[in-house]
Amino acid sequence: MSDKAIRQIVIVGGGTAGWMTAAPLAQKLGKACEIVLIESPEIGTVGVGEATLPTIRYYNQALGLDAADFIKKTQATFKLGTEFRDWGHVGSRFFHAFGNFGPMIESRPAYMYWLRLKRDVKDMPSYEEWSTADAMSRAHRFVPPYGDQPSVTNSYSYGFQFDASLYAAYLRDYAVARGVTRIEGMVVDVEQHPETGFVTAVKLRDGRRFEGDLFVDCTGFRALLLEGVYKAGYEDWSAMLPCNSAQAMPCTNPDGPLVPYTRSTAQSAGWTWRIPLQHRMGNGHVYCDGFTTDAEATRVLEGVLEGAAIDAPRQLRFTPGRRRKSWIKNCVGVGLSTGFIEPLESTSINMIEMTVGWIVQFFPDRDCSPALADEFNRLLSQRYEYIRDFIILHYKLTNRDDSEFWRYCRNMAVPDILQHQIDLFRDSSRVAILDQQGFLEDSWVSILMGHGIFPEKNDPFIDLMDPGYLLDHFHKVRDSIRRAVDAMPDHAAFVKHVVGDDPAGRRAA
């Protein structure tokens, strides 16, 4: 080991971000490095981000987690995508599925051929009928993708819906078992090297002091190290993402099916979420307090509950945006300390996954090369901006004009690159993807066409295809999806199968 190798890592803050950081570092570094995580019971965690993207599976698999045990311990259900209600206009519904709209045809995406048929065929069915994930969601069915060759049975993906606090506890046990030391206490002072400015130690209220070579700021919105010590600065995106408040309120599971998706319903000054878990329903209301009151927001939230409230609404305040730098000297941030974008597309935990992955990729020695920090900051800032633009898209495309909030969203200025992406699709049906690790073509198409954007112009090569052949192809794919979904088990039954003692169930997850 190099004499400049990191010997001690201090993670300040627990919760989902802290333990998602500690677990892979403990797995990879083992006894080569001492890892300490300090968390205080006096500081609550946000802990409302319960829905995830499919990438969480790869994070779990990299840790070697047992899938069935994870699902059981976190009260998880499966997520095939997000249903959006009332976003384009009151009464509208569309589904952002984790998957595609059928196989490519002559190297062109299937949605382009659907657009061709929509132009020429009267009463052409919705493009969503060629999404296996959408069909599964409507039928409340679930099995993981299967089959070796491309087909309707593996044209979709899935994430999870789980209790974030249980997930943090699950990873805490994993990390502690691999040598991470958990310290309970409140950090009241931070010591720095007088010449380099590096953080050298943090001091707790009870006088204990913890030295380190690398410090990870998982202190949430406070950003105790990044902002408190280094004054990193914050880029405020409120003009383009006006929602700045949220209330979270769990309820009992209602009678009826356990659905394998998250629901987002647009309200007069924001939107409400509905996330089904095994043991309860997660609910929340994200809104802009400049267009409504907290009391009215509570009334709206209580009005959408489908079961009995388990707790009173929990109020959250936030400023959408990102830290200008998230790695400064020997301090690096993870989670809310680096920025926040509302959980409309379940990106919060995904951002933690990506951030921790970059920490591992650019893991420094004790000198903490500024070049490593610069590359980390570039990637993280870029990722925040990509997600920002995808979320803005949901608001900007609305046709709603029934409230001041939605009129503002329709007319607000958006980043030039996002406007280019919208214009490109309107004019040519093509999608410009800037982030190959994020939301790809089918996701953008889901949001664009879900809001009623159907371009008249198409790729000229599409018009060369015989429409009769195309129509026959689409009918066959849709029939295959229906047969496959009809043969799938009910989502609730599959969850019970997985968390049971049946070895087949453990393999299935």
Residues recognised as catalytic: 79
Rg (CA), the chain: 24
- Compute the distance between CA of residue 75 and CA of residue 61 in angstroms, rounded to an integer: 18
Q: What tokens were used for 169?
A: 């506890």
Side chain identity, residue 329: K
- Compute the distance between CA of residue 369 and CA of residue 196 in angstroms, rounded to an integer: 12
- Compute the distance between CA of residue 127 and CA of residue 344 in angstroms, rounded to an integer: 23
Q: For residue 78, is it left (φ>0), alpha (ψ between -120 and 50) or beta?
A: beta
Side chain identity, residue 92: S
DSSP codes, 298-342: HHHHHHH-SS-B-SPPEEEE---EEES-SEETTEEE-GGGTEE--
- Compute the distance between CA of residue 49 and CA of residue 467 in angstroms, rounded to an integer: 45
Phi, psi of 175 (to 5 degrees): -70, -45
Residue 45 DSSP label: -
Q: What tokens were used for 67?
A: 């899938």
Alpha carbon of 211 to those of 188, 202, 255, 330, 356: distances in Å?
14, 7, 53, 12, 21
Q: What tokens were used for 210?
A: 């913890």
Helix (H/G/I), strand (E/B), else coil: 469: helix
DSSP codes, 356-382: HHHHHHT---TT--HHHHHHHHHHHHH
